[in-house]
């Protein structure tokens, strides 16, 4: 399978002047730590960067998202893709079939948020299981029937050939799964697991990293590898992950690109990339203060991406309802639903708290789906949720909606 081991040259140097022939990738220097121009680290001529498991799960999630739109699939087939068992022929890629990785085990599975909160973790996994099951039991049987309030089926966008397939509430369940994974898999593992000091510094990791004791048979220390695994959940599907161009998958990578392309938030992608590079260089340099500072930057910026896109889609859905284009509205609101659901996996910098708790998020979900769901949702409800999200992240609804 392509892109399993991401590598390349140039070990981060300490307290030395650097120059770059790319003005957009000027090396960052912080407290004596110098980040390389690209996310490339070597030891004795061999790359120390590896995040094959993250790439595998992104590719699995891509196939699952596509399969949810195939009404010939059975629930058993979709469940098997979500909770893959090594050696089972669940995917088109034989390397994915041979893998011992799966998606479900890593949903709501971070050390910081869910290791001591199994009840909520199981409830979240059950949400994904239910969305998959209901796609098969409710949406597929009505694939060619017009959707109406309280009745699942198909609905076409105005002035567009796209047809959307929704449940009785107007929700595209495939979007709930796909966008929910942005928080439940990618963000949770990045922000609350691999960048966590409880993971980075677990056991003898700090002493081993300081003394450059490598994992058996590997080129990297455990701490280096954990940081790289966080990087992999964002950039693991890139053709050249050391120099990401974004838009490489349908998950966090794609929507970071979308937010960065908004002039109101331009530069956020570079901020995240620089923080990943500098944090990794700090690990090489044994500077754990700089490492942790970069983790906080990543937490803030990645969380903000999720919030911005949530508001964007709620406002886009509101506008489409006003225009009488319910097919487009339901699509926009379904994407927004997934981003709202993902807010519970965000992380306030320098805290062990999400920007929105599980209870707050489920409150929003219940408001969106009250009565006949998107068929009934009001502009006032969409504005209220948007305003509360924007206020907590300190951006304007108008900027996010543009």
* 298-339 residue pLDDT tens: 999 999 999 999 999 999 999 999 999 999 999 999 999 999
Residue 378 three-state SS: coil
pLDDT score recorded for residue 382: 98
Q: How many CB atoms lie within 10 A of CB 71?
A: 14
Rounded average pLDDT over 16-36: 59
Distances (CA, A) of 129 to 20, 96, 118: 48, 21, 16
* Dihedrals phi, psi of 69, to nearest 5 degrees: -100, 10
Q: How many CB atoms lie within 10 A of CB 386?
A: 25
Which tokens in the block code for residue 159? 């002035």
Residue 27's pLDDT band (cuts 50, 70, 90): low
What rounded mean pLDDT belongs to the chain?
93
**Is the pLDDT reported for residue 21 higher than 60?**
no
Question: Considering all CA atoms of the chain, what is the largest pairwise distance in Å, rounded to the nearest integer?
Answer: 66
pLDDT score recorded for residue 160: 79
**Is the pLDDT reported for residue 7 higher than 80?**
no
Residue 390 three-state SS: helix
Residue 31's pLDDT band (cuts 50, 70, 90): confident
Rounded average pLDDT over 46-67: 98
**Is the pLDDT reported for residue 17 higher than 80?**
no
pLDDT score recorded for residue 161: 80
CB 220 within 8 A of CB 50: yes
Rounded average pLDDT over 267-276: 98
- pLDDT tens by residue, 273-303: 999 999 999 999 999 999 999 999 999 999 9
Rounded average pLDDT over 60-71: 98
pLDDT score recorded for residue 164: 98
Helices vs strands, H then E, count in the chain: 17, 6
CB burial class (10 A; 0-12, 13-18, 19+) of residue 263?
Answer: exposed
CB 200 within 8 A of CB 223: yes
349: left (phi over 0), alpha (psi -120 to 50) or beta: beta
Find, among 296, 328, 299, 335, the residue nearest to 314 by Cα. Answer: 335
Rounded average pLDDT over 104-112: 98
Rounded average pLDDT over 166-183: 98
Where is average pLDDT lowest: 20-34, 123-137, 175-189, 386-400? 20-34
**Is the pLDDT reported for residue 13 higher than 80?**
no
Rounded average pLDDT over 202-214: 98
Where is average pLDDT lowest: 159-163, 280-284, 318-322, 374-378? 159-163
Find, among 376, 375, 255, the residue nearest to 311 by Cα. Answer: 255
Q: How many CB atoms lie within 10 A of CB 200?
A: 24
Which tokens in the block code for residue 7? 């590598």
pLDDT score recorded for residue 26: 57
CB 46 within 8 A of CB 14: no
Q: How many CB atoms lie within 10 A of CB 267?
A: 11
Which tokens in the block code for residue 215? 């994992």
**Is the pLDDT reported for residue 42 higher than 90?**
yes
Q: What percent of the chain has pLDDT over 90?
A: 91
β-strands 42-43, 33-34 pairing: unpaired
CB 200 within 8 A of CB 289: no
Q: How far apart are CA 255 and CA 137, in angstroms?
A: 30
Q: Is the dihedral of CA 101, 102, 105, 108 positive or negative?
A: positive
CB 118 within 8 A of CB 201: no
Find, among 212, 231, 215, 209, the residue nearest to 277 by Cα. Answer: 231
Distances (CA, A) of 63 to 15, 77, 181, 252: 45, 12, 13, 16
Burial pattern 272-307, b for ≥16 Cβ within 10 A else e, equals bbbbbbbbbbbbbbbbbebbbbbbbbbbbbbbbbbb
Residue 12's pLDDT band (cuts 50, 70, 90): very low
Q: How far apart are CA 298 and CA 43, in angstroms?
A: 25
Beta bridge partners of 223: none
> Tokens 């053709």 sit at which residue?
239
């Amino acid at each position: 399978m392509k892109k399993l081991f991401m590598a390349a040259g140039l070990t981060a140097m300490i307290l030395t002047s650097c120059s770059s022939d790319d003005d957009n990738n000027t090396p960052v220097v912080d407290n004596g730590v110098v980040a390389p121009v690209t996310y490339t680290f070597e030891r004795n001529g061999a790359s120390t960067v590896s995040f094959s498991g993250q790439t595998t799960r992104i590719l699995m999630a891509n196939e699952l998202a596509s399969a949810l739109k195939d009404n010939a699939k059975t629930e058993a087939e979709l469940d098997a893709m979500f909770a893959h068992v090594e050696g089972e022929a669940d995917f088109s890629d034989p390397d994915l079939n041979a893998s011992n990785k799966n998606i479900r085990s890593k949903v709501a599975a971070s050390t910081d948020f869910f290791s001591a909160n199994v009840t909520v973790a199981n409830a979240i996994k059950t949400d994904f299981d239910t969305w998959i099951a209901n796609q098969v039991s409710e949406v597929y049987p009505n694939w060619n029937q017009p959707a109406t309030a309280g009745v699942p089926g198909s609905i076409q966008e105005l002035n567009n050939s796209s047809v959307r397939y929704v449940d009785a509430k107007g929700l595209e369940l495939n979007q709930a799964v796909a966008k929910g994974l942005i928080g439940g898999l990618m963000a949770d593992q990045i922000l609350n697991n691999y960048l966590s000091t409880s993971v980075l510094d677990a056991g003898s990791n700090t002493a081993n990293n300081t003394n450059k004791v490598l994992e058996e048979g590997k080129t990297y220390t455990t701490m280096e590898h954990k940081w790289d695994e966080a990087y992999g959940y964002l950039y693991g599907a890139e053709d050249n992950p050391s120099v990401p161009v974004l838009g490489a998958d349908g998950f966090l990578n794609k929507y970071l690109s979308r937010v960065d392309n908004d002039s109101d938030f331009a530069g956020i992608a570079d901020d995240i990339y620089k923080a990943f590079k500098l944090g990794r260089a700090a690990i090489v340099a044994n500077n754990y203060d700089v490492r942790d500072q970069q983790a906080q930057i990543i937490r803030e910026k990645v969380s903000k991406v999720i919030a911005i896109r949530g508001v964007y889609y709620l406002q886009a859905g509101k506008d489409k309802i006003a225009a009488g284009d319910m097919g487009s509205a339901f699509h926009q609101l379904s994407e927004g639903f997934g981003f709202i659901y993902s807010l519970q996996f965000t992380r306030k910098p320098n805290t062990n708290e999400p920007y929105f708790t599980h209870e707050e998020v489920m409150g929003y979900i219940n408001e969106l789906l009250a009565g006949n769901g998107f068929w009934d949702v009001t502009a006032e409800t969409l504005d209220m949720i948007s305003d509360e999200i924007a206020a907590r992240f300190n951006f304007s609804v108008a900027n996010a909606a543009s």
